Structure 1
Amino acid sequence: MNWLIRYLKPVKGRMLTLLVLLLVTTGLQLVNPQIVQHFIDTASSHGTIISLLWLAGLYLAIAVVNQLATVAVSYLGNDVAWRATNTLREDLVRHTLRLDMDFHNRKSPGEMIERIDGDVTNMSNFFAMFIAEVIGSFVLLTGILIVMFFHNWLIASVMTVFTLASIGVMTWIRDLGVSASQAERQASAQLFGLIEERIAGIEDVQANGNVPYVIRRFHRAMRRVFETGRRAWMLRVIPWNATVALYTLAMTVVLLLGVHLYLTGHATLGTLYLFYQYTQMLNDPIEQLGNQMQEFQKAKSGMRRSIELLSLKSNIVDGDEDGTALPAGPLDVEFRHVDFSYNGDERVLHDIHFRLAPGERLGIVGRTGSGKSSISRLLLRLYNVDSGSIRIGGVDIRTLRLEALYQRVGMVTQDVQLFDGSLRDNLTLFNRQVSDSDILATTDRLGLRTFIDAMPEGLDTHLSAGGASLSAGEAQLFALTRVFLTRPSLVILDEPSSRLDPATEATLQLAVDELLQNCTGMVIAHRLLTLEKVDKIMVLGQGRIVEFGDRAALAAAETSHFAGLLRTSRQEELA
């Protein structure tokens, strides 16, 4: 409840309005049976037509007002629910984005969509009706019982016992289906994860004839959703079934007592109707409570999963120093005896120790899996080192604020992510402080201006997520422009030209040279042509530094590993 109140507190004004409307609708619901009672008794005693018409008109007016109030209650209930749960969605998204890469490597996007939206939607459904039906039901129950005690204490006592028994049963077994509902949500999350994974890899699935295999996995996941959903539903409906049985018993007793009072002359026909109507009305809030108990169990399972997600802590702890701790201009880079592993078992980097002076360019080469990309990920603190330290500008990166680190360090990878938005937004990553003139000047220097001029609306041209309309070269120039606009002091290029043809690679190389003029650079590459203008070379092998030194010296030394790579590269080009 404390967690629930936390998200409902910002909408307390709307909740107060909602409670007032609930009291109005409850009062109107209690009044109308009284009007019908008077109508029946007046008709039985041969009352005037005027009296009957007046009662009928009053009944109709109250029914209309009650219906309008009910619509308002439903609207406000949903408004309160979505405002509260949208805040929760925002908290979940913000928290998830701050979790480390170890977490994101374990979770598929499909599963995270289900955790952030699917679970919260269940909570929203409950929040929407919590006040309108749960609190409203309790108010109506109380009103019915109070009115009934003024008419007949015996029947009122029977109705009270039924109400307390129903609420007691629902309270006693309220958590019966929560664990099963959690399992249902988890099965649904796994299904969404499977769908997302297969859609993302649709080319490989179709090209390798794996559609039947995917369908089999889909069937297994769907069966799991069905089986967990069926069990959760069967457990959730138990409170409702229990109240139906209790209501049947209570209705039988009330009708028998009412008929007895009518036959003995202690109740009029209108009063007998009143007993029946209030007993019928008593079932409605009890049934609503039973239905909401099912929603409560689904909502509580969502709450547990959301609390579980919010309780996760990132392994990357933000530092306490701001960007002023770093010196101006190009930054030096120093790795001090760094060891690193992704899962804690198999070490990826072993005793990496080197220093790069401010303004120098380092080329990193090595076989696939040698640890090249791991070095770039550690520099950006996407992961923590197991031992040793990394210093930029003479400062241990663990003491820096992540925001300050990202302001001074830029990275370009071979996979460029484009977002649904304008061309301007994609180049600036939605930073409104970057002017159009700065964007155009930068793209002109990097060779992207002709592409922008060819777009129908220039910088206002809308791009779809994924960037299917861009070539690989254009996408890489996009990435370089993004980094260039931030004016970084250290740039990491992680195989940016691996998918480009030689002509496009030459154009990209000019842009890279322009980018690295006023900053320190680290270039990870398979093609040695990319490393012709670097100052130093690092050769990695099985996570260790095999060779590190000046490029010219290593290229001239026939026995060096780098010289051997150059000879192999030339032979491949001649072939």
Structure 2
Amino acid sequence: MRSPEHVNQTQSMSMTWMFRYLVPVKGRMALLLVLLLITTGFQLVNPQIVQRFINTAAARGAIASLLNLAAMYLVIAVCNQLVTVAVSYLGNDVAWRATNQLRANLLQHCLRLDMRFHNLKTPGEMIERIDGDVTNMSNFFAMFIVQIVGSFILLAGILVVMFFENWVIATVMAGFTALSIAVMVFIRDLGVTASQAERQASASLFGLIEERIAGIEDVQANGAVGYVMNRFHRAMHTVFQTGRRAWMLRVIPWNATVIMFTFAVTAVLLVGLHLYLTGKVSLGALYLYFQYTQMLNDPIEQLGNQMQDFQRAKSGMRRSRELLSLQSEIQEGTADSLPDGPLHVVFDHVNFSYNPAERVLNDIHFELRPGECLGIVGRTGSGKSSISRLLLRLYNVDSGTIRVGGTDIRDLKFETMYRRVGMVTQDVQLFDGTLRDNLTLFNHSVADEEILKTTETLGLRPWIDALPDGLDTHLAAGGASLSAGEAQLFALTRVFLTKPSLVILDEPSSRLDPATEATLQAAVDQLLEHCTGIVIAHRLSTLERVDKIMVLRHGNIVEFGDRATLAADSTSYFASLLKSDAREEFA
């Protein structure tokens, strides 16, 4: 059990972390504070005008005086409304500027987390964590200065004015105010934990929806719609239950203030009525007391409402802090240079596992000299793709060392590594943007002439020329507009344009017809002329021009050597593959 001092310290640190996002918008906050003071002044003045109007009318004063007071009231009311609109606009502006920076920080942090983290999270859940949680914080930020700070300013103004008007009624109002604020502060965190559970349930629901929509083909083809709907209804039931409990706990502060306000209004009215009946105050003063009491309820009620938003915001803040506190096991190095030209690659007794219970790679040890090309073959699950993931630092090795260009990859900066290493995978990701942006990955320094020359070399130029706007054609995210062959050539073009010194081809021709495979193979041959290469293949035909062969089985190297030597050795495993129907074995 944590001590109260520890809880208070944690809350203080949380609030400090939360409000530091407001520092960049402190100028707008200062302007907002000035506007709040102005609108508070307007709200305090108008009841004074009405009081004078009532007293003047009761004394049968001059019509001109009454008209002047009415005109003054109208002008102040209009001005107050204009300032209120400005306050609302500026408050939302401050909130979104502050929380958009938090969204950016969360997204950037998530993009830097390792694959072990992302393998456990669905995209739908991450969207809810990055946007949904922060939206709750944004709603709180938007009204925090406007309603909480503004409410305290208005409360202080009302009480000060009332002490000058009548200290007895002012004392009653001050007592009610102090008690209300004390109750809200005391129970301010009552619904935070429940709100966290509500946000987690919502994130799980979004994760379920995203996962099932992404696999819609399998869902429909296997008649799993009923199963998906059952999971959906169960997730919705969890959201409903957690949401109901969180809401019931969050509204307690508001209900408490409503009850206390009822007693406060009754007390003020009774005292005011007594003073009026005994002739100690005028009818206008009685109205003033009543009006200020009603005005007192508005900021108190706003504070109660903000307590609900505060609890939602704090639950989002805790979840955001939790996410930002996660550290990737992939730590960036400091080395920022690699040798020019094709890179030297060494795996030095590397061991790796995705989980401790099952080793994926066992004592992988090989060397690839600059300019050489390695072909890797093996059954599904033998560890082929794991080698490429380790080489790209998507995971850390359990033991051993991987060196590129003579440098341990753990010592390299990410930018240095990825600037010199390229990879072509089976699945090609398209982004929402122009064809040019997708080919260059939004690198505007690449000239159109270079793009067109590369695409012509790879056989993509006719496809580009057939598009309505050429390189300016807008592509939708997902890649549905590309055939399998076009997608592979598309990915190869990206790698070509980066001019890598080491390229990894992960089964690039697995989904291609023979004609497209021949086009792709010609392009690959051109690419590998200027860099070191690693080709992971199911089809042995794609390994005809590699220099070395590695055969993997259950994470172990069962054979490694020169391709020509292994092919000529009738006792080698690779030679037996060449003689057998390799396509069927590795399909």
Shorter-chain TM band: over 0.9
Change (3 A) 1:288 1:571: closer
Give me the whole-angstrom Cα distance separating, in 2, the residues matched to 1:274 and 1:565.
97
| Contact 2:435/2:473 (<8 A) preserved | yes
Cα distance in 2 for partners of 1:182, 1:272 equals 47
Secondary structure at the residue paired with 1:346? coil
Structure 1 partner of 2:157: 143
Give the root-mean-square deviation of aligned CA atoms. 1.0
Query: 1:443-464: CA deviations, max 9, x gaps?
Result: 1111111111111111111100
**Is the aligned partner of 1:217 residue 2:217?**
no
| 2:509 match | 497
Counterpart AA for 2:292: Y
Asked if 2 retains the 8 angstrom alpha-carbon contact of 1:262 and 1:268, the reply is yes
Out of 81, 102, 112, the residue aligned to residue 98 of structure 1 is 112
User: After alignment, is 54-63 or 550-559 more displaced?
Assistant: 550-559
Paired with 2:79 and 2:320, the residues of 1 have a C-alpha distance of 40
Instruction: Using the TM superposition, give the Cα deviation of residue 512 of structure 1 relative to its aligned residue in structure 2, in angstroms.
Output: 0.7
Aligned to 2:3: none
**Which piece of structure 1 moves more, 465-474 or 155-164?**
465-474
2:310 maps to 1:301: no
Match of 1:351, SS state, is: strand
Q: 1:484 to 1:118 in 2, by over 3 A?
A: same
User: How far apart in 2 are the matches of 1:552 and 1:569?
Assistant: 19
Amino acid in structure 2 at the alignment position of 1:298? R
1:569 paired with 2:581, answer: yes
1:130-189 residue CA offsets vs partner (Å, 9 max, x unmatched): 000000000000000001111111110000000000000000000000000000000000
Aligned partner of 2:98 among 74, 81, 84: 84
How far the C-alpha of 1:557 sits from its partner, in A, is 1.7
Partner of 2:4: none
Distance between the aligned counterparts of 1:570 and 1:55, measured in 2? 98
Secondary structure of the 2:376 match is strand
| Aligned counterparts of 1:20 and 1:392: Cα–Cα separation in 2 | 60
Residue 45 of structure 2 is aligned to residue 7 of structure 1: no
The one-letter amino acid of 1:33's match is P
How far is the alpha carbon of 1:309 from its aligned partner? 0.7
Equivalent in the alignment of 2:386: 374
TM-score normalised to structure 2 length = 0.96
Q: Which amino acid aligns with 1:41?
A: N
Is contact 1:446–1:514 with CA below 8 Å preserved after alignment?
Answer: no
Alpha-carbon distance in 1 for matches of 2:72, 2:530:
84
2:252 is the alignment partner of 1:238: yes
> Which residue identity does 2:327 align to in structure 1?
K
Deviations 1:362-386 (A, max 9, x none): 1000000000000000001100000
**Aligned letter for 1:118?**
G
Q: Is the CA contact (8 Å cut-off) linking 2:540 and 2:583 kept in structure 1?
A: no
Question: What CA distance in whole angstroms lies between the structure 2 residues aligned with 1:321 and 1:498?
Answer: 36
Cα separation, 1, equivalents of 2:529 and 2:349: 29
Matched, 1:391 2:403: yes
Q: Give the TM-score normalised by structure 1.
A: 0.98
Mapped pair 1:550 → 2:562? yes
SS of 2:360's partner is: strand
* Distance verdict in 2 for CA 1:570–1:99, change over 3 Å: closer
Q: Which moved more, 1:217-226 or 1:341-350?
A: 341-350
Corresponding residue number in structure 2 for 1:196:
210
| Deviation of the 1:568 alpha carbon | 2.1
Is residue 116 of structure 2 the alignment partner of residue 111 of structure 1? no
Conserved in 1, the CA contact under 8 Å of 2:539 and 2:583?
no
**Structure 1 runs not aligned, ≥5 long:** none
Describe the shift of the 1:55–1:546 C-alpha distance in structure 2 as closer, same or farther (beyond 3 A): same
The answer as to 2:304 corresponding to 1:290 is yes
Report the secondary structure of 2:307's partner residue.
helix
Any idea what SS the aligned residue of 1:455 has?
coil
Question: Does structure 2 retain, via aligned residues, the 8 Å contact 1:528–1:569?
Answer: no
**Alpha-carbon distance, 1:558 to partner:** 1.9
Q: Determine the C-alpha separation between the residues in 2 that align with 1:371 and 1:253.
A: 79
> In the alignment, which residue of structure 2 is the partner of 1:166?
180
**Residue deviations 1:439-493 (CA, integer Å, cap 9, x gap):** 1111111111111111111111110001211111111111101011111111000
Partners of 2:395 and 2:176 lie apart in 1 by 60
Matches within 5 A, 1:267-346: 267-323=281-337, 326-346=338-358
1:428 maps to amino acid: T
Number of equivalences = 571
Residue 318 (structure 1) shift = 0.4
Residue 534 of structure 2 aligns to a residue whose secondary structure is: strand
Once residues 156 and 193 of structure 1 are traced to their aligned partners in structure 2, the CA distance between those partners, rounded to angstroms, is 54
Distance 1:133 1:87 in 2: 23
1:331, 1:31 → 2: CA distance?
A: 78
Match of 2:494 in 1: 482
SS at match of 1:106: coil
2:484 pairs, out of 472, 475, 495, with: 472
Deviation at 1:563, TM superposition (A): 1.5
Determine what percentage of the aligned residue pairs are the same residue: 76
Deviation, structure 1 residue 281: 0.3
Aligned partners of 1:572, 1:388: CA distance in 2, in Å?
A: 34
Matched, 1:133 2:147: yes
Structure 2 CA distance, aligned partners of 1:357 and 1:222? 57
Distance 1:556 1:297 in 2: 73
**What are the superposed Cα offsets for residues 100-157 of structure 1, whole Å, 9 maximum, x if unpaired?**
1111111110000000000000000000000000000000000000011111111100
The one of 413, 437, 443 equivalent to 1:431 is 443
Task: Give the deviation of 1:43 after TM superposition.
Answer: 0.7
Matched residues in 2 for 1:129 and 1:572: separation? 65
Q: Is the 8 A contact 1:338 1:385 kept in 2?
A: yes
Is the 1:182–1:305 contact (alpha carbons within 8 Å) kept by the matching residues of 2? yes
Measured at CA, do residues 153 and 425 of structure 1 come closer, stay the same or move farther in structure 2, by a change above 3 Å?
same
Cα distance in 1 between the residues matched to 2:247 and 2:576:
67
> 1:570 and 1:158, CA in 2 relative to 1: closer, same or farther beyond 3 A?
closer
Which ranges in structure 2 are unaligned for 5 or more consecutive residues? 1-14
Deviation at residue 569 of structure 1 after TM alignment: 2.2
Q: Secondary structure at the match of 1:209?
A: coil
Give the secondary-structure state (helix, strand or coil) at the position aligned to 2:334: coil
1:488-517 per-residue CA deviation (whole Å, 9 max, x = no partner) reads 111000001111111111111111111111
State the match for 2:418 in structure 1.
406
| Alignment counterpart, residue 207 of structure 1, candidates 215, 221, 232 | 221
Deviation of 1:344 (Å): 2.6
Q: What is the alpha-carbon distance in structure 1 between the residues aligned to residue 35 and residue 543 of structure 2?
A: 73
Distance 1:554 1:295 in 2: 69
The match for 1:559 among 556, 561, 571 is 571
8 Å contact from structure 1 (residues 445, 514) kept in 2 = no
Report the Cα offset of residue 397 of structure 1: 0.7
Deviation, 1:559, is: 1.9
1:4, CA displacement in angstroms? 2.5
Q: How far is 1:571 from its partner?
A: 8.5
Structure 2 counterpart of 1:523: 535
Distance in 2 (alpha carbons) for counterparts of 1:572 and 1:301: 54
32, 37, 46: which one pairs with 1:23?
37
Q: Secondary structure of 1:388's match?
A: strand
Q: Residues 268 and 570 from structure 1, CA distance in 2 versus in 1: closer, same or farther, beyond 3 angstroms? A: closer
Whole-angstrom distance in 1 between the partners of 2:267 and 2:481 = 74
The C-alpha deviation readout for 1:372-415, integer Å capped at 9, x for no partner, is 00000000110000000001111111111111010111000000
Aligned partner of 2:526 in structure 1 is 514
- The alpha-carbon distance between structure 1 residues 185 and 571, as it changes in their structure 2 partners (threshold 3 A), is closer
